[in-house]
Homo-oligomer: A and B are copies of this chain.
Amino acid sequence: MNFLEERIMKDGQVREGDILKVDSFLNHQVDIALLEQIGDAFYEHFKDKNITRVLTVESSGIAIAYPVARRFGVPAVFAKKARSMNLDGDLYTSIVHSYTYNVDNVVTLSKQYLHADDCVLIVDDFMANGKAVQGLLDICRQAGASVAGIGIAIEKGFQNGGRLLREAGVDLYSLAIVDSMDADGTIIFREH
């Protein structure tokens, strides 16, 4: 097991409805040392790809994007989940269904912050069905930007988001892929 899988075994909690609760270190309270390790791991995997921007979606993606962008020495850009009154009109938009909250979110990104000459690394804390990442890929397509790959902290391997992306040839690098989990606390990770 790698550092993240070990931490999930130690502090993650399985809840009804295939929810893996990692609030204590990843997306409510943030263990900075762990996030730094995640940043290092994504940097190692993608360091030869000439990344120019690290792209995520608010809000829990931001704490992942920060250390990754710092390693690469490039800006972090976070898409927003609703049209903000403070944003100018010139936006990329994509509709993303959130199964966690059972709502359609409009994900938006100002056209100023993603261009055709960008080489993007997309990152997020979780991937299940991959809808959020598909929204970010859609925005990159609209911008004409190339996508070097996707870095995910925890992938729910029993949902199909990761499989669809890998079949499409995307370099999807997930630090921990949960193949199954049970409310009794059993968590099975995919072999690396």
* Chain A residues with a Cβ under 8 A of chain B: 15, 19, 21, 23-24, 28-32, 35-36, 58-60, 62-63, 65-67, 69-70, 73-78, 80, 84-88, 100-101, 109-110, 112-113
Q: Is the CB–CB distance between B76 and A100 below 8 Å?
A: no
CB neighbours of A100 from chain B (8 A): 84-86
Q: List chain B residues, Cβ under 8 A from A109.
A: 28
Q: Out of B24, B63, B76, which one reaches A29, CB within 8 Å?
A: B76
Contacts A66-B32, A101-B85 given; indicate if A113 touches B24 (C-beta within 8 A).
yes
Shortest 8 CB-CB distances between A and B: which pairs?
Answer: A59-B59, A58-B59, A29-B113, A62-B62, A30-B76, A66-B66, A32-B70, A29-B77
Q: A59-B59, A87-B23 are in contact. Are A75 and B30 (CB under 8 A)?
A: yes
Q: How far is the CA of A31 from the CA of B31 in the complex (A)?
A: 22
CA separation between A28 and B108, bound complex, in Å?
A: 10
Distance of A117 from chain B, by nearest CB (Å): 15
Q: With A23-B87, A86-B100, A113-B24 as given contacts, are A59 and B78 in contact (CB-CB < 8 Å)?
A: yes
Considering the chains assembled together, what is the distance between the CA atoms of A35 and B63 in angstroms?
A: 13
- Known contacts A21-B86, A23-B110, A86-B19, A36 near B70 by CB under 8 Å: yes
Chain B residues with Cβ below 8 Å from A24 are 112-113
Which of B30, B66, B74, B80 interacts with A28 by CB under 8 Å? Answer: B80
